[in-house]
Amino acid sequence: MTISDQPDPFWNRAYRDGSSPFGKPSEEVVRLAAGDRELIAKGARILVAGCGDGRHALYLAKEGFVVDAFDISPDAVAHVRANATPGLHLRAWQADLDGVELADQYDWVIAHGMLHMVPDPARDKAMARLRAQTHPGGIHVVAVFTDTIPPPPDLAPLHVALFSEGELFEQYRAAGWELLETRSYVLEDEHPGGIRHRHPINKLVARAPAPALP
């Protein structure tokens, strides 16, 4: 069963209502965009996979970055487009991470809270592809849910590819990426309609290997 066979998850209803179910951009994204450690150049080219309501894509486009954002949900894409002001360098389109067409190499890729919904083996293949489409020295910010707490019943049918604790970090390490930050924590989440969830999360900020010196 894939995500498109599922009944509407709560976030699609929120996208249609015009509300933002996931709040503000994540702290790591804000820090990196503000020039923390000078990892991201102004005007960098960014890909946001599974962009949802656009909390990262819209924020980064407003900060002057060039942003590509896609989501499997047409409601998400409609929400992002409706909230994009003229003049932003922001392209939003509907696509499944498994098979999405990407024309570019990116400086920064964000995949926040979505990879555990892409069934294996597509999940790891897609992650390898995202790494391959990142410039040397480019940055990934990735947050995934792990299986250390059983998923909430309303989301269990969607959380088909939960990571084991540390699996995300190991995957990037094995690919030769530098792990700049790793976090493992439990998110106590409350969404519109009083929906409460506890999500065990692994999150990283990682840098792509620089090209070998001649």
Ligand X SMILES: C[S@@+](CC[C@H](N)C(=O)[O-])C[C@H]1O[C@@H](n2cnc3c(N)ncnc32)[C@H](O)[C@@H]1O
Q: Which residues sit at the interface with ligand X, rule CB under 6 A?
A: 3, 11, 22, 50-52, 55, 71-73, 76, 96-98, 112-114, 117-118
Do 144 and 201 contact (CB within 8 A), yes or no? yes
Q: How far is the CB of 117 from ligand X (least distance, A)?
A: 4
CA distance from start to end of the chain: 48
Question: Which CB sits closer to ligand X, 10 or 66?
Answer: 10
Q: How far is the CB of 209 from ligand X (least distance, A)?
A: 25
Question: Which CB sits closer to ligand X, 149 or 210?
Answer: 149
Do 140 and 172 contact (CB within 8 A), yes or no? yes
Q: How far is the CB of 47 from ligand X (least distance, A)?
A: 12
Q: How far is the CB of 48 from ligand X (least distance, A)?
A: 7
Question: Which CB sits closer to ligand X, 99 or 137?
Answer: 99
Six-digit token string for 130: 């995202």
Do 163 and 145 contact (CB within 8 A), yes or no? yes
Question: Which CB sits closer to ligand X, 79 or 207?
Answer: 79
Q: Tell me the residue number closest to ligand X, measured at CB.
A: 52
Question: Which CB sits closer to ligand X, 26 or 134?
Answer: 26
Cis peptide preceding 121, ω within 30 of 0: yes
**Paired residues of 204 in beta bridges:** 142, 182
Do 111 and 142 contact (CB within 8 A), yes or no? yes
Cis peptide preceding 150, ω within 30 of 0: no
Six-digit token string for 6: 């599922």
Question: Which CB sits closer to ligand X, 76 or 201?
Answer: 76
**107 Cβ contact list (under 8 Å, min separation 6):** 40, 41, 44, 45, 46, 134, 135, 138, 139
Q: What angle do CA 167, 101, 10 make, to 5 degrees?
A: 60
Six-digit token string for 14: 């929120």
Q: How far is the CB of 173 from ligand X (least distance, A)?
A: 23
Q: How far is the CB of 9 from ligand X (least distance, A)?
A: 7
